[in-house]
């Protein structure tokens, strides 16, 4: 039986080096104490923003404290992610979160007091003190949000409730990653394999239908046993979103989620409308998949089944070299940074028991970014590596170029860099692959990227909109209503596919639902990335793109994307990307027919 190794059994060569944040846990404790004691300086600034120098001093104190607390939280959380059952790092994470809440509470006066200044006085401050230039965009954005900022007392109250609002996500994480255990299945080699989050997709890509079906049923069977707990947890998270929107005077939780990025809800609805219009192309692709699998009907557990009989194994070492070569069009400096990521402890590579599932990139200003993976030896994981390194390079260039107040890019553009890397890797592999079976697999992977990154994420976006609408209308959010809502969307998006029992519970394992209205940005980001990658390959010039990566959060997302030549205020990029999907599907069909 293939059982997971423990964290202590991991080879250090494949572990990230969190010592680059804090050399020891004792150093973390010292920084924690200093940060906790240092909150007094921020508290002392309350009621004293009566000059340009005082305003700058308060903003400097706030940002420096935020950066230290972010490092504390990131370190503790990533240590916990190494093994979620480790109580020491559970405790450190909770303490860092509590300190973050205390910081938010201590600084709750800042925005209300800035808004209390007369506009003319604030403008005079900015002219008199050039040190405020670095805060120009932030100050303008605060003024823009004037109607949704509360007085200092209520802001402090909301800040103090931060741990309460984060509880649903924390409960979900503990249940899904630490407490949940899945049964075992017998793979196509006759080996007993324990199902884990990391192995689930690998098992669902088995060429053996029995393995896929058994894995699907056992995996969702575990969620079925806990469906009411998952439903209550998600409902609580949604109600927190609704409460926040109401108390801040937004028309809806969707409006609040998009307002921070200065994005109209029309962008959200336009994305759904364009994707819905292209569903016939998705249904056509699913029918092609059914035919290639030689099945009378396609099941949900068949969606990840390989259409090419040619296996495409890819070790971590091979993936590193492949990604480096594919991203060469991004320039020499970009390549040097990739090599640094490979060799200097940026990446935590393999799965171990208790480790957080999936993959992500995270970090804090002043230190290099970190990438968590659960690498399995196949081509899909090579794409995941390219994806997460896109995030890492975005953070690297942003932090290198921008001062602390403008370094953090917004979520709306967060998936652009990661997807550009994936598109460039795909283009490179399709162009260089000589094995027809592998080429078919690559083309199918590209089609799957569209299916999962555009169509699937937009379906998720519809689920989020529907469930938040239900909460805002006073409707019940129970396991049954959540399952029905999700099943109805699957019926629309997967027309002609057998909706196997269990798929109506898929929402229970989607962690992004605890960060409301995030997932639609995968689709917009993918659309933008397709256009950016095409431009780089056709022009041979990545300078505009590197400028975009280096811009951090110095402007609103839609304005930053214009640096790279993308205008998402129109539906054109999304429609263009969906047109590429149809073109690729036609090419895929021709390649399949040629094989016949």
CB-CB contact of 426 with 445 (8 Å): yes
CB-CB contact of 529 with 416 (8 Å): yes
Helix, strand, coil percentages, rounded to 5, for the chain: 70, 5, 25
Q: How far is 144 from 164, CA to CA, in rounded Å?
A: 28
- Per the listing, tokens 């937004």 go with 250
Q: Which two tokens stand for residue 36?
A: 């906790």
SS (H, E, C) 313-338: ECCHHHHHHHHHHHCHHHCHHHHHHH
Q: How far is 3 from 184, CA to CA, in rounded Å?
A: 10
Tell me which residue of 283, 263, 394, 382 sits closest to 323, measured CA to CA: 382
CB-CB contact of 38 with 65 (8 Å): yes
Give the phi and the psi of residue 361 in degrees, each rounded to 5.
Answer: -120, 135
How far CA 410 is from CA of 11, 40, 553, 560, in Å, comes to 35, 29, 6, 10
How far CA 79 is from CA of 16, 17, 28, 102, 121, in Å, comes to 10, 10, 12, 22, 46
Tell me which residue of 321, 384, 334 sits closest to 542, measured CA to CA: 334
- Per the listing, tokens 């409960």 go with 171
Four-residue CA torsion sign, 35, 41, 44, 48: negative
**DSSP-assigned states of every residue in 202-267:** HHHT-S-HHHHHHHHHHHHHHHHTTHHHHHHHHHHHHHHHHHHHHHTT-S-HHHHHHHTTT--HHH
User: What number of CA atoms fall less than 13 Å from residue 504's CA on the CB side?
Assistant: 17
Tell me which residue of 12, 66, 17, 65 sits closest to 41, measured CA to CA: 65
User: What number of CA atoms fall less than 13 Å from residue 288's CA on the CB side?
Assistant: 23
> Could you give the residue numbers annotated as active site?
388
Tell me which residue of 82, 66, 576 sits closest to 351, measured CA to CA: 82
Residues contacting residue 335 through CB under 8 Å, at least 6 positions apart:
324, 327, 328
Tell me which residue of 319, 347, 393 sits closest to 545, measured CA to CA: 393
Residues contacting residue 586 through CB under 8 Å, at least 6 positions apart:
none
How far CA 96 is from CA of 30, 367, 475, in Å, comes to 13, 18, 36
Q: How far is 536 from 546, CA to CA, in rounded Å?
A: 11
CA 265 to chain centre: 20
């Amino acid at each position: 039986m293939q059982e997971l190794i423990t964290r202590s059994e991991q080879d250090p060569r494949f572990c990230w080096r969190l010592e680059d944040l804090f050399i020891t846990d004792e150093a973390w404790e010292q920084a924690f104490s200093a940060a906790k004691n240092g909150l007094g300086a921020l508290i002392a600034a309350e009621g004293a923003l009566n000059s340009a120098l005082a305003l700058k001093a308060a903003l400097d104190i706030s940002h420096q404290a935020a950066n230290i607390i972010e490092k504390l939280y990131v370190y503790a959380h990533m240590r916990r992610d190494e093994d979620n059952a480790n109580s020491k790092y559970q405790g450190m994470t909770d303490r860092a979160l509590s300190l973050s809440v205390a910081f938010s509470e201590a600084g709750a006066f800042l925005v209300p007091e800035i808004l209390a200044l007369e506009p003319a006085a604030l403008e005079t401050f900015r002219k008199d003190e050039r040190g405020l230039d670095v805060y120009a965009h932030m100050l303008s954005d605060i003024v823009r949000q004037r109607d949704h900022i509360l007085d200092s007392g209520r802001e402090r109250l909301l800040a103090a409730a931060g741990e309460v609002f984060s509880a649903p996500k924390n409960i979900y994480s503990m249940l899904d990653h630490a407490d949940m255990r899945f049964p075992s299945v017998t793979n196509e080699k006759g080996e007993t394999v324990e199902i884990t989050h990391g192995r689930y997709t690998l098992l669902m890509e088995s060429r053996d239908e029995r393995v896929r079906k058994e894995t699907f049923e056992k995996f969702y069977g575990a969620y079925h046993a806990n469906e009411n707990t998952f439903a209550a947890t998600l409902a609580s998270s949604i109600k927190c979103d609704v409460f926040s929107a109401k108390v801040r005077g937004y028309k809806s939780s969707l409006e609040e989620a998009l307002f921070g990025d200065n994005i109209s809800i029309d962008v959200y609805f336009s994305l759904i409308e364009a994707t819905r219009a292209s569903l016939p192309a998705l249904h056509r692709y699913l029918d092609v998949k059914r035919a290639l699998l030689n099945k009378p009907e396609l099941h949900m557990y068949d969606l990840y089944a390989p259409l090419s009989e040619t296996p495409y194994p890819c070790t971590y070492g091979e993936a590193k070299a492949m990604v480096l070569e594919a991203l060469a069009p991004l320039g020499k400096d970009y390549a040097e940074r990739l090599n640094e990521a490979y060799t200097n402890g940026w990446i935590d590579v393999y799965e171990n028991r208790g480790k957080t599932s999936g993959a992500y990139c995270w970090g804090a200003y002043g230190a290099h970014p970190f990438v968590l993976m659960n690498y399995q030896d196949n081509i899909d994981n090579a794409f995941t590596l390219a994806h997460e390194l896109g995030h890492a390079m975005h953070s690297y260039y942003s932090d290198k170029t921008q001062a602390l107040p403008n370094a953090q890019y917004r979520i709306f553009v967060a998936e652009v860099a990661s997807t550009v890397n994936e598109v460039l890797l795909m283009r490179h592999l399709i162009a260089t692959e000589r094995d027809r079976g592998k080429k078919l697999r690559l083309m199918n992977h590209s089609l799957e990227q569209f299916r999962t990154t555009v169509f699937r994420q937009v379906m998720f976006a519809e689920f989020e909109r529907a469930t938040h609408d239900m909460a805002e209308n006073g409707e019940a959010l129970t396991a049954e209503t959540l399952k029905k809502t999700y099943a109805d969307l699957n019926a629309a998006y997967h027309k002609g596919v057998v909706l196997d029992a269990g798929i109506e519970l898929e929402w229970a394992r989607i962690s992004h639902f605890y960060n409301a209205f995030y997932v639609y940005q995968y689709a917009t980001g993918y659309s933008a990335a397709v256009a950016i990658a095409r431009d780089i390959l056709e022009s041979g010039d990545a300078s505009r793109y590197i400028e975009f990566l280096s811009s951090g959060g110095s402007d609103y997302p839609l304005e930053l994307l214009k640096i790279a030549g993308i205008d998402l205020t129109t539906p054109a990029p999304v429609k263009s990307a969906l047109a590429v999907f149809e073109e690729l599907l036609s090419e895929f069909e021709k390649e399949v027919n040629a094989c016949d």
